[in-house]
Amino acid sequence: MPIDWMKRALAAAALLASLTALSGCSSTIADMTMPADAPARPKDATGYLPVHDLPPDRADPTIKPADQAKIEQELIAARERQASAAAQSGTAAPSATTAQSGK
């Protein structure tokens, strides 16, 4: 029993010493001043960023429909070239329906 009591007392003393050391470090951080080149803090601190404020819709689309159709045709042609190259080499290529469904 006395050994158990000594271990507990030693653990409590170590905990108290570490808490004292850590509390001494935190008090100096709170009293620090702002650096001279730091920007001024806003007076109205809302706390949250405006994540739901979306930008306005664009007047014209980023890709014109004709360009989008051309890109789609190029992608389809590239897919067909890959499928024919895979068929010639003997490896099984995923079918077009499998590639479109994402499976």
- Write the pLDDT tens digit of every residue in 45-83: 667 777 888 888 888 778 888 999 999 999 999 999 999
Range of the domain at 87: 63-91
85 located within any domain: yes
Q: Give the integer Cα–Cα distance in Å for 76 and 83.
A: 11
pLDDT of residue 33: 78
77 located within any domain: yes
pLDDT of residue 81: 96
25 located within any domain: no
What's the number of domains the chain is made of? Answer: 1
Question: How remote is the C-alpha of 4 from its chain's centroid?
Answer: 48
From residue 20, give the alpha-carbon distance in Å to each of 14, 25, 26. Answer: 10, 9, 10
Q: Given pLDDT bands bounded at 50, 70 and 90, which one contains residue 44?
A: confident
75 located within any domain: yes
Structure tokens at 50: 């405006």
